[in-house]
Amino acid sequence: MIKTSRFLGHSAGAFRLARAIVKAAPTSASVLIIGESGTGKEVVARAIHDRSSRRKQPFVAVNCGAISPSLAESELFGHEKGSFTGAVTSTEGCFGRAHMGTLFLDEITEMPLSVQVQLLRVLENGSYFSVGGTEQKKVNVRIIAATNRDPKAAVQAHTFRSDLLYRLAVFPVRVPALRERKSDIPYLAQRFLNELNEQEGTKKVFAPDALFQLESYHWPGNIRELKNTVTRAFILADDEVEIPQLSANVQPRLPDVKHGLLKISVGTPLDSAQRAVIMATLDYYGGDKRRTAMALGISPKTLYNRLEEFRKQGYMFKVA
């Protein structure tokens, strides 16, 4: 396994990101990190903590999507012994554990709404009560939140409070997808290979077309997927690390859809435009082919034929 969790990169996008980390780190401003899955949001959050004056204090990470609303209060603020059935000992909660350090609220837009209210309150007051507690606890934490969703869209969908968004997004940081910083692909791949060689005491090298294969893929799983691909290829290799043609190399980027609008550049070949409209509509209707066909004004049979053609050409669909 590759252990590196340091922030690496040498593309213009990575430099911009590194600059944002350096600027944000010494302040106590809340940071909101936005980026697709696997782009390195947690790496960025840790880099900010490690460069801040809190670096010797705790970094506590909480996955907000995994907190159940009924236990959320206790999870965040702790509880006193006997405050509810099952509370056999008192616990501290994430805020208590992160005191003087950094609290990383991952997947913030997935936090239950009732908990968002409580979170906002503690962010505004700098103090809280534990469940069953009578004593107000003062807390000093630096908040870094992250999401792989568009937070404004989550506000519009009423799943994320706008006041919490504004409170958290004092310093928003966007982590670009790997396909938007292509020159990082060979760079990171080589760094990952170097690390594996060092760990295993080997001297494996990339096969001549390996970096080309890596660069021509669109990496929907971003750096995590790149890391796993290099590791897998390394394990399979004797001396030369070969990258097999990645199955979706021929796959186009997913259509660029936002708020039900599809963005297509002027000059897009008609068959690509048609494919994008069909895929985006199918996705919009959650894979329902009958509704998709109706919306597109074609018969279900025509839609099936088109999808079959796309499949034969090597395009894959998120839907069955």
Ligand X SMILES: Nc1ncnc2c1ncn2[C@@H]1O[C@H](COP(=O)(O)OP(=O)(O)OP(=O)(O)O)[C@@H](O)[C@H]1O
Residue numbers of the site for ligand X (CB under 6 A)?
4-5, 7-9, 35, 37-43, 148, 223-224, 227
Is the CB of 99 or the CB of 224 nearer to ligand X? 224
Q: Is 180 one of the binding residues for Mg ion (CB under 5 A)? A: no
**What is the distance between the alpha carbons of residues 25 and 207, in angstroms, rounded to a whole number?**
40
- Contact status, residue 230 vs residue 193, Cβ threshold 8 Å: yes
30 touches 146 (CB < 8 A): no
| Residue 39 interaction partner, one of ligand X, Mg ion, none, beta carbon < 5-8 Å per kind | ligand X
Q: Give Cα separations from 268 to 65, 259, 271, 272, 274 (angstroms).
A: 39, 21, 8, 7, 10
Token pair recorded at residue 100: 């003087």
C-alpha closest to that of 115 among 86, 81, 156, 145:
145
Shortest Cβ 36–Mg ion spacing (Å): 11
What is the Cα–Cα distance from 74 to 91, expressed in whole angstroms? 8
**Nearer residue to ligand X within complex by CB, 9 or 93:** 9
Interacting partner of 268 out of ligand X, Mg ion, none (Cβ under 5 to 8 A depending on kind): none
Pair type for strands 59-63 and 31-34: unpaired
The tokens describing 290, both together, are: 């009958």
Which residue of 8, 16, 18, 42 would you call a contact of Mg ion, by CB under 5 A? 42
Which residue has the closest beta carbon to Mg ion? 42
The strand pair at 205-206 and 240-241 is best described as parallel
Instruction: Name every residue whose Cβ is closer than 8 Å to that of residue 63 and which is 6 or more positions away in sequence.
Output: 106, 107
- By CB under 5 A, tell whether 283 contacts Mg ion: no
Binding segment for Mg ion (CB under 5 A), chosen from 38-46, 127-135, 164-172, 243-251, is 38-46
In the complex, minimum distance from the CB of residue 106 to Mg ion, in angstroms, rounded to a whole number: 5
Q: Does 110 bind Mg ion (CB under 5 A)?
A: no
Report which secondary-structure segment, H or E, holds 32.
Answer: strand 31-34
Q: For Mg ion, give the closer residue by CB, 102 or 281.
A: 102
- The answer to whether the CB of 89 falls within 8 A of the CB of 134 is no
Task: Specify whether the backbone of 125 is left (phi greater than 0), alpha (psi in -120 to 50) or beta.
Answer: alpha
DSSP bridge pairs for 106 = 63
Residue 62 or residue 210: which is nearer to Mg ion going by CB? Answer: 62
Supply the minimum distance, in Å, between the C-beta of residue 3 and Mg ion. Answer: 17
Based on CB atoms, which residue is closest to ligand X, 25 or 223? 223
> x/- contact string, 140-179, with Mg ion (CB under 5 A)?
----------------------------------------
Nearest CB to ligand X, comparing residues 37 and 53: 37
Q: Residue 238 Cβ, how far from Mg ion at the closest point, in Å?
A: 34
DSSP annotation of 85 reads T
The distance of closest approach from Cβ of residue 37 to ligand X in the complex, given in angstroms and rounded to an integer, is 4
When CB distances are held under 5 to 8 angstroms depending on the partner's kind, the choice from Mg ion, ligand X, none that residue 245 binds is: none
Minimum CB separation from ligand X for residue 191, in Å? 7
Q: Which is nearer to Mg ion, 80 or 106 (CB)?
A: 106
**Residue nearest ligand X, Cβ-based:** 40
Radius of gyration of the chain (CA): 23
- Residue 104's H or E segment, with its range, is strand 102-106
- Tell me if 214 sits within 8 A of 185, measured CB to CB: yes
Residue 224 Cβ vs ligand X, minimum distance, rounded to whole Å: 4
We find the least distance from the C-beta atom of residue 236 to Mg ion, in angstroms, to be: 28
Question: Binding residues for Mg ion, per CB under 5 A?
Answer: 42
